[in-house]
Structure 1
Amino acid sequence: MPRHVIDAVRAKLEQFEGLRLTAYRDAVGVLTIGYGHTGPDVRPGLTIDRARADQLLAQDLAEAESAVSRLVKVPLSDNQFGALVSFAFNVGTSGFAGSTLLKKLNAGNYDAVPGELAKWNKGTVNGKKVAIPGLTNRRAAEAGIWAAGAHVSSNYVPATPTPAGSWLAKPETIAGGVSVATAVAGAANNGGPIAWAVAAVITGTLIVAAIHFIRRLRESAS
């Protein structure tokens, strides 16, 4: 079943391209119409309606979606897929196919994608390669879409169980925790500034210990 970009990404792509119903030349002089549509069917003075613009967008988008689905060999979240489709839509499927970005991604280097996207911000103007503000902004936005999906998946991911042998799962640890908690509650309920001070110290120590333990778990999982 063909994969398609989610609605939020499609809306962003439409925003990137903008809608023009009369043919115009883009920043590098290429005849364009609709939502960034180019090709031999676009001629000077051509005018279309909104329905035709939507039709051309669906056609061009399907080509980019197919190229990303076919060429990328590693799993992608919805946002990651959408960012690459927007990129391929803009630079062309042949440009995407031959890019260093694709090579690095297929090698498993997900972190390289934002930096590689940023390199594609230039166009040829008067025979010279120059940075184009619109492309710079678009690459940054695509990197943002990519990053938004970096740790999110459409698939269910089961929770990681507590590692076997972890002191957190030991009965004596649980019993000790209950005893300390009881002591804190009793000290506070007995009243008096000293009791409250002792309770505050014990509680603070427990919080610091818990934070430290959570950090160690995260470090060991990364």
Structure 2
Amino acid sequence: MRKWRRGRAFCTDESGAVGRRTAAGLGAVLALAAAVIAPFEGRELRAYRDIVGVWTICDGDTQRVRPGQEATPAECDSRLAARVAAFEREIRPCLPAGLPAETRAAFISAAYNIGSPAFCSSSMARRARAGDLRGACEALRLWTKAGGQVVRGLVRRREAERALCLSGL
């Protein structure tokens, strides 16, 4: 049996699997997450080392990147879509079912940046599982460092993610 939350695009069945109220439900969440991720990551068609020295290409993608690698804009679009979907799948078990689309998209963006293992063990995920969604959104502000230093770009990103997260509540 599926349980619908009034005004929400998602439902869950007894297994905890997320269902969609509309055909575009999950796709809309992924598109929203990608729209938050892309401007903060920036698009680079040639592989480069990021702020902490990790080889990166396209929109902050670190998977299977090697020095000298190049990508087309279409390849970057494909990589971003695939990685956003992968992060959604990876963090889904760490969050309660039935989250608002905006909140889920904000958490996908954070996981894309900090990694799924870090996200799943974070206070964001713990607070969300405890039912404190506002507190989970506020906890995004705790993730503003790279290499031990506060980074202005991460501060701006977390504020944007926080605003999106709270807009769904």
Does the alignment reach a TM-score above 0.5? yes
Q: Is the 8 A contact 1:74 1:105 kept in 2?
A: no
1:32 to 45, 53, 56: 56
CA distance in 2, matches of 1:87, 1:69: 13
Unaligned segments of structure 2, at least 5 residues: 1-18, 21-25
When residues 107 and 74 of structure 1 are mapped into structure 2, their CA distance, relative to the original with a 3 A threshold, is: farther
Q: Is the 8 A contact 2:36 2:161 kept in 1?
A: no
CA distance in 2, matches of 1:148, 1:111: 10
CA distance in 1, matches of 2:56, 2:31: 24
**Helix, strand or coil: the match of 2:45?**
strand
TM-score by length of 1: 0.61
Q: Which amino acid aligns with 2:111?
A: A
Q: Percent same amino acid at aligned positions?
A: 32
Matches for 1:84-163 after TM superposition, within 5 Å = 84-124=107-147, 129-150=148-169
The question of 1:77 aligning with 2:100 is answered yes
Q: Which residue pairs with 1:60 in the alignment?
A: 83
CA distance in 2, matches of 1:37, 1:105: 26
CA distance in 1, matches of 2:33, 2:125: 20
Q: Which amino acid aligns with 2:58?
A: G
Residue by residue over 1:139-187, the C-alpha shift from the partner in whole angstroms, topping out at 9 and shown as x without a partner, is 111001011111xxxxxxxxxxxxxxxxxxxxxxxxxxxxxxxxxxxxx
Q: Is the 8 A contact 2:43 2:59 kept in 1?
A: yes
Q: Is the 8 A contact 1:74 1:108 kept in 2?
A: no
Unaligned segments of structure 1, at least 5 residues: 151-222
Alpha-carbon RMSD? 1.7
The question of 1:13 aligning with 2:37 is answered yes
Q: How many residues align?
A: 145
CA distance in 1, matches of 2:138, 2:104: 16
When residues 92 and 69 of structure 1 are mapped into structure 2, their CA distance, relative to the original with a 3 A threshold, is: same
More strand by share: 2
TM-score by length of 2: 0.79
CA distance in 2, matches of 1:10, 1:57: 7
**Helix, strand or coil: the match of 1:44?**
coil
Q: Which moved more, 1:92-101 or 1:70-79?
A: 70-79
Q: Which fold has the larger relative contact order, with Cα–Cα distance below 8 Å and residues 6 or more apart in sequence?
A: 2
Query: How far off is 1:87 after superposition?
Result: 0.7
**Helix, strand or coil: the match of 1:36?**
coil
Q: Is the 8 A contact 2:30 2:84 kept in 1?
A: no
